[in-house]
């Protein structure tokens, strides 16, 4: 769309939607099916996960995990991108698993490391769990804030 800036070395996955006036600094990675509404600004070396949704006029300074909706200032978790996941064929069971994982990470815990341990110990293995935990474990600069913070 109009007035979008993609700086050097950005990597965009398939079916990414970038609305008007979005600005990506260098070395930003956006995975498949992510949606960035208008006027979003993304800091360099940020990774935005698959099927995520970032609300308009957001400033992205930390990595955004897959399957989530993000908004506010500072950028925070506001839920799971349920509408997008259902449009892409995710089952109700898969969406529920994703919601349970993020409830543990972003709502019940203020410490991401403890939340990850809790998810690993208390939730069954699933493709969604693997994708989420791999993303977080490979985010050395950290992920966005949760509701409890």
Contact 112, 136 (CB under 8 A): yes
Is 5 part of the annotated catalytic residue set?
Answer: no
Identified catalytic residue from 8, 92, 130, 142? 8
Identified catalytic residue from 5, 9, 92, 134? 9
Contact 141, 63 (CB under 8 A): yes
Is 47 part of the annotated catalytic residue set?
Answer: no
SS3 category, 108: helix
For 43, what's the count of Cα atoms within 13 Å in the CB-facing half-sphere? 13
Unique residue bearing structure tokens 């600094």: 25
Is 8 part of the annotated catalytic residue set?
Answer: yes
Distance CA 135, CA 121 (A): 18
Identified catalytic residue from 5, 26, 92, 142? 26
Which residue numbers are catalytic?
Answer: 8-9, 26
């Amino acid at each position: 769309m109009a007035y979008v800036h993609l700086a050097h070395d950005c990597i965009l996955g398939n079916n990414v939607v970038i609305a008007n006036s979005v600005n990506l600094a260098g070395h930003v990675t956006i995975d498949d099916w992510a949606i960035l509404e208008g006027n979003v600004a993304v800091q360099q070396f940020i990774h935005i996960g698959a099927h995520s949704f970032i609300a308009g006029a957001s400033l992205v300074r930390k990595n955004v995990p897959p399957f989530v909706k993000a908004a506010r200032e500072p950028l925070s978790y506001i839920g799971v991108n349920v509408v997008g996941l259902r449009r892409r064929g995710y089952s109700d069971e898969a969406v529920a698993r994703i919601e349970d994982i993020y409830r543990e990470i972003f709502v019940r815990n203020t410490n991401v490391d403890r939340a990850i341990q809790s998810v690993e110990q208390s939730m069954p293995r699933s493709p969604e769990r693997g994708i989420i935990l791999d993303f977080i474990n490979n985010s050395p600069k950290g992920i966005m804030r949760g509701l409890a913070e």
